[in-house]
Amino acid sequence: MKEELTTAIASWGRYPQVAQHSQRLAWSCEPLPRPGSALLPFGLGRSYGDSCLNDQHTLLLTRGLDRFLAFDRKNGLLRCESGVSLAEILALVVPHGWFLPVTPGTKFVTVGGAVANDVHGKNHHRAGSFGNQLRAFELLRSDGRRLRCAAEENADYFTATIGGLGLTGLITWVELQLKPIVSPLIEHEVIRFSGLAEFFALSLQSAESHEYTVAWIDCLASGNALGRGHFIRGNHATTGAPLRPSKPPWLTIPCNLPRRTLNPLTLHAFNRAYYWRQPRKSKHRRSHYDPFFYPLDAVNHWNRLYGRPGFFQYQCVVPFAEGPGPIQEILAAIAAARQGSFLAVLKTFGSIPSRGLLSFPRPGVTLALDFPNRGAATLNLFTRLDALVGQAGGALYPAKDARMSPAIFRLSFPRLEQFIPFLDPSFSSTFWRRVNP
Amino acid sequence: MKKVVVFGATSAIIQAVARLLAAEGASFFLVARNPAKLASVAADLRVRGATAVHEADLDLNDVNSHQALIADAFAQLAGVDLVLVAHGLLGAQARAEVEFAHASELIFTNYLSIVSLLTHLIPRLEAQQRGQVAVLSSVAGDRGRASNYVYGSAKGALTLYLSGLRARLSRTPINILTLKLGFVDTPMTAGCKKGPLWATPAALAPRILAAIAARRDQCYLPGFWAIIMTIVKLLPEPIFKKLRF
């Protein structure tokens, strides 16, 4: 049944707002619907910008494809439909001593979305990205073909679909290799650092000793304090505790907050307090994996903090060869514009090659920040940041983007021409049409 | 561990219920028409902890097959604790008003096929002196509304049949549960406009299990439908007939 054009479905950043049709999928064995407009799979809508939107066209809502198909408890091999969320996987596999081999900063994404965006986690330097954990998946094309894709089977569709932004067809099921754990706890350590040079030294030093590394940056600090933050590193605990999965969120933001809730004053105060909360001397802690990996999942709809205009996220990666220079300049530009927010994350990507033709992760340093939507002021800042990223030979992340130019998209993805032949002719997205005008 | 027979195993509501039972280690005998869909439901329940899952793909309108089907279920599971009857057809009211074949199909699937199943099933439950039957009926069976009275009449007949059956079995340990569901957001109702009265299968499933555990006779789900339907049933016919809903 075809539904009317509505603006009811938004991406996580709640910008842009578009009018689109939607159809719910309930069975992975059924053929694709033929609504007469372009299709785009939509899972939990955790992409920030417009890569999960399909203005004037049709979203295929995949959350109804939520069945597990096989779980080899001995070898940690899991096959499930593409609408299953990472939270549901954890709830199933943690009690049996297994864990996601790679997880992004929220567990409320579908496994299909994790493939389509080739998401990464805090262990990229050890494990690569989500696509590196896949054994196989099935791709349903609009011509009705069902392609089993793996490294050695339909390898071209395999590499096009990993990071392929849902544009190569519908992923119906995914098979992935889990990793064994003996405890749900993470032993971690938070180290305060006062500048980027220290961050680079800590990253280098921790790559061997720690599976998970990430840094929070005070993106509003300037001058001498520029680039200060906390370096967080951790490993799975090797001694037991009951293998309990996570608890449901404890707080819900019920509605959009006034757009001025997050203003320079409150954000400065938050960032400063957060920075000084961590004493000079590092602290060792043991905590459940849930607050370690998914601190924001504790607050339902935290995106409503940014109010009706929504917010942007800006995530770039800059090659190691450029040293701390470009990141320093980017942080200086953000601090000077007084635009950043409280979520600024710095992380090094390792050298394991991403499998996808359009995969974002590549060796270098990646910086991700939230920005309240202040219209032209925010967009102008991004244009200045793009220039810095472009000069450094870096790239932007489509999953976080609502505004990148066709030019920087091309610079970011040199294998774009190889990808184009694998686009499904019936699939498209607002993002795709924007960067390929 | 519970031994559960499910008629209409691909129903969205009953999948949500079966997932909870699977996590407790239940064994299943699943019946549904579409073998590919049935296979994916069975696989899901196995992964979620079901002790055993047997599949039978069959159109439940084929009443001649019911006797053998039920014999098979009892043989495969070696006894049955719980029977969930969930198959149904919403159909199209406008078509059923002018096309007897469609009206008859609605009544056959939603009422007569269940009478046939229960006719073969109840003697076996009586013989084993235990068992529960939970049947998905509907608030549509409480009073004939202009917008879906053909479907509603079948559900109404079903509710009456179950009420009489329950009375007949009142001195046995067998429990008959009539689940009068309100609006549920499922593939069966994909074409309906949704509003605040709609519930999701995942939210209903634990309440259905609670009603089963409490061995209730009948219940409205979600519970607020008890109030709505009390009012709807009390409305005098001269007023009721003029309402368009």
pLDDT digits (tens, 9 = 90+) for A19-44: 999 999 999 999 999 999 999 999 99
Give the closest of B34, B43, B190 to A67, CB-based. Answer: B43
Distance of CA A346 to the CA centre of its chain: 13
Q: E strands within B72-129? A: 82-85
Least reliable range by pLDDT among A93-97, A264-268, B168-172: A264-268
- Residues B40, A172: Cα–Cα separation, whole Å: 12
Interval B2-29: pLDDT, tens: 999 999 999 999 999 999 999 999 999 9
pLDDT at A1 exceeding the cut of 50: no
Extract the tokens encoding A373: 């939507």
* Beta bridge mates, A285: A188
CB-nearest to B48 from A24, A64, A68 is A68
Alpha-carbon distance of A237 to A247, in angstroms, equals 19
Residue B178 has φ and ψ, to the nearest 5°, of -100, 115
Q: Which of B111, B151, B161, B220 is catalytic?
A: B151
Question: With an 8 Å Cβ cutoff, are A69 and B41 in contact?
Answer: no
Q: Check residue B188 and give its pLDDT.
A: 77
pLDDT over 50 (residue B56):
yes
DSSP string covering A141-163: -TTS-EEEEBTTBSHHHHHHHTT
DSSP conformation class of A23: E
Tokens standing for residue A149: 């894709």
Residues of A in contact with B193 (CB under 8 A): none
Lowest model confidence (mean pLDDT) among A245-254, B154-163, B205-214: A245-254
Q: How many CB atoms lie within 10 A of CB A277?
A: 10
Contact flag A67-B190 (C-beta cutoff 8 Å):
no
Q: Which tokens in the block code for residue B57?
A: 């793909």
Percent of chain A past pLDDT 90, that is, above it, reads 78
Residues B189-215, mean pLDDT to the nearest whole number: 90
Say yes or no: B193 contacts chain A, CB-CB below 8 A: no
Prior bond to B222 cis, omega within 30? Answer: yes
* Across A95-117, average pLDDT: 97
The shares of helix, strand and coil residues in chain B, as percent rounded to the nearest 5, are: 50, 15, 30
Query: Does A24 sit within 8 Å of B187, measured CB to CB?
Result: yes
- Per DSSP, A437 falls in state -
Average pLDDT over residues A80-99: 97
pLDDT of residue A343: 74
Tell me which residue in A28, A29, A70 faces B47 most closely, judged by beta carbons. Answer: A70
Tell me which DSSP letter residue A119 carries. -
- pLDDT value at position A92? 96
Question: Residues with Cβ < 8 Å from A431, sequence gap 6 or more?
Answer: A49, A50, A51, A53, A165, A398, A401
Question: CA separation (Å) from A307 to A14, A244, A304, A336?
Answer: 9, 35, 5, 24
Could you tell me how many CB contacts below 8 A there are between chain A and chain B? 34
In A, which residues are within 8 Å of B12 by CB distance?
26
* A42 and A59 Cβ atoms separated by less than 8 Å: yes
* Any A CB within 8 A of B195 CB: no
Residues 6+ apart with CB under 8 A from A275: A192, A218, A221, A228, A229, A230
Is the minimum CB–CB distance between A374 and chain B shorter than 8 Å?
A: no
> Kindly report the CA angle at B71 between B177 and B107, in degrees rounded to 5?
50
Choose the closest CB to B43 out of A27, A69, A92. A69
Distance of CA A145 to the CA centre of its chain: 29
Give dist(CA A226, CA A296) in Å, integer: 25
Bridge partners, A41 (sequence order): A60
Answer yes or no: do B47 and A68 touch at CB < 8 A: yes
pLDDT band at residue A3 under the 50/70/90 scheme: low
CB contact under 8 A, B187 and A81: no
> What is the model's pTM?
0.94
Other beta carbons within 10 Å of A424 = 22
Whether A308 has its CB under 8 Å from any CB of chain B: the answer is no
| Interface predicted TM-score (ipTM) over 0.90 | yes
Q: What is the pLDDT of residues A309-350, one digit of tens each?
A: 899 999 999 999 888 999 999 999 998 988 877 778 999 999
Q: Smallest Cα–Cα separation from A355: which of A118, A79, A116, A47? A: A118
Q: A246-250, B78-82, B157-161: which range is least confident on average?
A: A246-250
- What length does chain A have? 437
pLDDT digit string, tens, across residues A232-242: 999 999 987 77
Instruction: Please name which of A261, A180, A221 lies closest in space to residue A346, comparing C-alpha atoms.
Output: A221
Give dist(CA B6, CA B41) in Å, integer.
11
pLDDT single digits (tens) B129-181: 999 999 999 999 999 999 999 999 999 999 999 999 999 999 999 999 999 99
CB contact under 8 A, B37 and A24: no
Query: Is A276 an 8 Å CB contact of chain B?
Result: no
What gap in Å lies between CA A309 and CA A289, rounded to an integer? 33
Q: Where are the beta strands (DSSP E) in A248-310?
A: 251-252, 283-288, 299-300
Find chain B residues with C-beta within 8 A of A69's C-beta. Answer: 40, 43-44, 47
Rounded CA gap, A138 and A250, in Å? 36
Amino acid code (one letter) for A178: L
Residue B41: list chain A partners with CB under 8 A: 67
Please list every residue in chain B whose beta carbon sits closer than 8 Å to the beta carbon of residue A26. Answer: 12, 187
* Residues making up chain B, counted from first to last: 245
C-beta atoms surrounding A33 within 10 Å: 16
Residue B62: φ, ψ to 5°:
-85, 80
Give the mean pLDDT of chain B.
Answer: 95
Instruction: Considering only the beta carbons, identify the residue of A26, A69, A70 that sits closest to B187.
Output: A26
Whether B161 sits among the annotated catalytic residues: the reply is no
Average pLDDT for B55-76: 98
Residue A264 confidence (pLDDT): 73
CB B182 within 8 A of CB B139: yes
Question: A94 CA to chain B: closest CA distance, Å?
Answer: 13
Predicted confidence (pLDDT) per residue in A171-212, tens digit? 999 999 999 999 999 999 999 999 999 999 999 999 999 999
Contact B44 A71 (CB under 8 A): no
> Closest Cα of chain A to B201: distance in Å?
11
Contact between residue A52 and residue A400 where contact means Cβ atoms under 8 Å apart: no
In this structure, are residues A360 and A354 in contact, taking their beta carbons and an 8 Å threshold? yes
